[in-house]
Amino acid sequence: MFLCTLAALFAVTWGAHQHPTTTTPIPKTDHELIQDLLAENAALRGRLGTMEQGVGDLSRQVMLQQLFVEERIRSDGSSGLKQVRNQQSGERSYLTADYATMGSVAGIHEHINNIRTVGMGELNVVLNGVEFRTRHNDYRLYMPTTDRTYNGRREIPFPDVPPAVLAKLTVAEQVEEMKEWFKAFKMQDHSVRDYRKYFKPVLCYMEGGWTTNTKTLEEPFFSDRHHIDASSWFDLQDKVRFASYSGGKSSLENFAYLPTTIINVVNGTPEYAQWNYRIMCHPLKNDLPTSAFEMIDDVGERMKKGMPMSRYNETRLARFQLRRQIPTNRNSYIPRTYLWGLLDDLMYEIPGKDNYGANITDDSLGLTMYHVNSNTEPLEPVNTAYYNRMYKIVEKDAMGNKNVHRGFSDSNFFAAQTSNPRIAALSVDTCKDYRDHKTHHNVHNCTHYSQRYTWAIPLEIIYLTPLYEWNPHNFRHTTASGGPEIYSTTHNSQGQVRNGKLDADHAYNGTWDKGFYRTPIELFSTTKAVGADRADTAKASVGVLDPHGVVQKVAASGTHIILPNIEGVGKVRTRYPIMPVHADGEQSRKELDALKEMVMNMAKYSSLFEVEPTTVSNANTQYNQQPHMLKVTPTTQDPPGYHGHDLMITQADIEDMKKGQTVRGILTTTDQQHQHSIDIHMDAHGQYVMAACDGLPRCWDGHDTHLTLDF
């Protein structure tokens, strides 16, 4: 470039010599021209260097601003679920969505007609100071691999069917024996039937980290129902900005806010990193007794429904936490602080991005991280390739502590180190000056550290049951749809539409991964989903042809939140949400939780009150606020299929109806992916009757207008 410019200048100069004019100055010598060019080049380099320095300084300032935001989020709360999508307004703040919708915590729902899909909605999450918003999270029962493949996954094996069930000769006998196994699991009694071999717990978790792939959009994790609807990270960010600006949304809930950051500045050049997350599961090594779970009393959620604590466990709103240890006696269990507990043990079974079998130790900043429970020499280093949140150091810190929590104020996140270059690295140099006593020279010694980490929080524990493998009618199964031979929505060559109805021409001719109906309905006293949600996809029951061409009426066999009622057993919960919430780390929340415990257990904590509480209450007010449930008569109209609804009223509503008033706009529970808004009055016989349903004289799906008082 320099030579080309020089040649051009010589050409101009030579032309000036050939065609002199009276106004042409005396031409410069070649030496003078070269000196001018060198001076201009030096000035240009100076200006370019200043610009590079400015860009580098601005990039670093942007990076520090991101650090400021993350540090602010870390101090404002803990890692965990912050919010689900709000769907309605309310006259009290607790009547709107927080970390639960009107129907379920974290928007969990059921896709039990799918062999591996676990239903979970959109979430706003904080993970080690990074706030992001997910797409709709229907995830699959996958676990990490044993190789080093980035985001490698494989299917979690399903538990076997108890041989005692398979030994029965008839389906009816198998059903009765299977009930006994579910009873043993619910009662946690393995003395006669050792359910622990056939009801296997898996821990599902959310993992996030800064990735180096900032060019190509990378799907967070596989879902057979949802994917990010964008062509690039830039396209996704524009769509999220537009939706947030306008208040719109993706109807398929396939947008996700996943931030981009400047992770490093090298020689004035910014290096970017893209945040991404995934949901995976890990089969626990040992049985986990359900006594390890403690139900959290989210009072606001119970207030929305007017629900007593005794019924809360049988709803999708219930949230749990793992006790620090499995209690030997629940009644005498006392909550205490701890360093390393049951949850730490379980999360320490889960690998980071290097997958199962990896072994990494961390000695950054001159401090080797040891396992908290290692107390004998030689100390056991923490395998930082697996998720952990506490470690031990040999020398006490300035406060005299040896045990260190990874979060300054965040007690909820777990960290795992990785060697995978797909995760962005952070580097630092630490230098020490000392005098070498042998050479008597001053030495400046620096050590370079470079590390890659991801972070995780637990989401839920799912108990896999024998229903995944139980196939008493010997239905054929294919992983694909199987075409019109198994499933079809249009007429096939024989003029048939196979849609699961209970006749030979319309029943499914087998099962497939998204039509996983194999459980005999006789196992349940009702096939109605517990706390049905509009996002649920399974039919209550369908007809499937067995190998002899006989139509069998069966229910879905996938992952339930709570199994429908089993005669002699009751309802059985198989999904235990244990995700922490962001508000756990707020100082006001800690104070509120302590106050809530005192108020809810006045007798136990009466000594802590400044003024001893009295038991005097307004009996009339309590009487009027008593909740009651009305049941809507089930309908058999198809579509949508057999179903019913429940709705909650108060004693005050009943008193108003006795006076001839109509109670308006009561929302029912959701079933078969819909709910109703009902106006209710009391007739001359004291019966509860729909005055209107969704603004019409009768419900569109054929419910009878008479309602039944349940309690």
pLDDT of 616 higher than 50: no
Give me the pLDDT at residue 17, please: 46
Q: For residue 39, what pLDDT is reported?
A: 78
Q: What's the pLDDT tens digit per position in 601-613?
A: 887 777 788 887 7
Q: Mind listing the pLDDT tens digit for each residue in 429-457?
A: 888 877 777 777 787 788 888 999 999 99
The confidence band for 8, taking pLDDT boundaries of 50, 70 and 90, is very low
**Pairwise CA distance, residues 464 & 157, whole Å:** 9
pLDDT score for 493:
55
Strands (E), 111-171: 117-118, 124-127, 130-133, 139-140, 142-144, 153-155
| 306 — pLDDT class (breaks 50, 70, 90) | confident
Tokens 């908290």 -> residue: 372
pLDDT tens across 471-498, in order?
A: 999 999 988 766 667 776 555 555 568 8
Element of type H or E holding 646: strand 643-650
Decide if pLDDT at 16 tops 50.
no
In the predicted model, is pLDDT for residue 3 greater than 50?
no
Q: Are strands 575-577 and 442-451 parallel, antiparallel or unpaired?
A: unpaired
Whole-number Å distance between alpha carbons of 26 and 4:
23
Query: For the residues 308-325, what does the mean pLDDT come to?
Result: 91
> pTM for this structure?
0.83
What is residue 332's predicted lDDT score, i.e. its pLDDT? 66
| Mean per-residue pLDDT, 46-70 | 81
Q: Give the residue-averaged pLDDT of 22-32.
A: 72
Distance CA(530)–CA(560), nearest Å, equals: 9
Of 95, 96, 102, nearest to 121 (Cα)? 102
The number of CA neighbours under 13 Å toward the Cβ of 375 is: 1
Mapping DSSP to helix (H, G, I), strand (E, B) and coil, where does residue 213 land?
A: coil
Cα Rg of the chain, angstroms: 33
Q: What is the pLDDT of residue 14?
A: 44
- Selected residue with higher pLDDT from 559 and 633: 559
Q: How far apart are CA 487 and CA 483, in angstroms?
A: 6
**What's the full length of the chain, in residues?**
711
Q: What's the pLDDT score for residue 336?
A: 81
Token pair of 420, please? 């995978």
Contact 411, 590 (CB under 8 A): no
Q: What is the dihedral of CA 278, 283, 288, 294, to 10 degrees?
A: 10
Pairing of strands 511-512, 477-478: parallel
Q: Which of 157-161, 330-334, 455-459, 619-623 has the lowest mean pLDDT?
A: 619-623
Is residue 280 scored above 50 in pLDDT? Answer: yes
Least confident of 425-429, 566-570, 572-576: 425-429
Q: What is the mean pLDDT of the chain?
A: 87
| Distance separating alpha carbons of residues 110 and 539, to the nearest angstrom | 11
Q: How far apart are CA 31 and CA 42, in angstroms?
A: 17
Q: Residue 11 above 80 pLDDT?
A: no
Minimum mean pLDDT among 383-392, 469-478, 502-511, 626-635: which range?
A: 626-635
The mean pLDDT value for 104-114 works out to: 94
Shortest CA distance to 598 belongs to which of 587, 607, 589? 607
Mean pLDDT (whole number) for 79-99? 87
User: What pLDDT sits at residue 615?
Assistant: 59
Tokens of 172: 């009816």
304 vs 211, higher pLDDT: 211
Least confident range from 228-242, 290-304, 627-641: namely: 228-242
Percent of the chain residues past pLDDT 70, beyond the cut: 93
In this structure, of 33-42, 349-358, 658-667, 694-703, the range with the lowest mean pLDDT score is 33-42
- Is residue 191's pLDDT more than 90? yes
Alpha helices per DSSP H over 601-650: 602-605, 619-624
Residue pLDDT, tens place only, 142-184: 999 999 999 999 999 999 999 999 999 999 999 999 999 999 9
The residues, ordered by sequence, that sit 6+ positions from 406 with a Cβ below 8 Å of its Cβ are 388, 389, 390, 391, 413, 414, 415
Report angle CA 426, 80, 219 to the nearest 5 degrees.
Answer: 65
Are residues 173 and 383 in contact, defined by beta-carbon separation less than 8 angstroms?
A: no
Burial readout 138-175 (b: 16 or more C-beta within 10 A, e: otherwise): bbbbbbbeeeeeebbbeebebbebbeebeeeeeeeebb
pLDDT band at residue 677 using 50, 70 and 90 as cut-offs: confident
The DSSP bridge partners found for residue 320 are 295
Mean pLDDT of 337-365: 94
Helix (H) or strand (E) holding 571: strand 570-573
pLDDT value of residue 13: 43
Q: Which of 74-88, 280-294, 325-339, 639-653 is the least confident region?
A: 325-339
pLDDT value at position 492?
55
Q: Which residue has the tokens 């239903």?
A: 119
What residues does 139 pair with on adjacent strands?
118
What's the pLDDT at 159? 98
**Who wins on pLDDT, 101 or 349?**
349
pLDDT digits (tens, 9 = 90+) for 643-661: 889 888 888 889 889 999 9
Q: CA–CA separation, 46 vs 40, rounded Å?
A: 10
More confident residue, 440 or 127: 127
Q: pLDDT band at residue 239, thresholds of 50, 70 and 90?
A: confident
Structure-block tokens of residue 133? 């918003």
Q: What pLDDT is attached to residue 484?
A: 65
Q: Which residues contact 317 (CB under 8 A, 6 or more apart)?
A: 100, 103, 104, 105, 298, 301, 302, 305, 307, 531
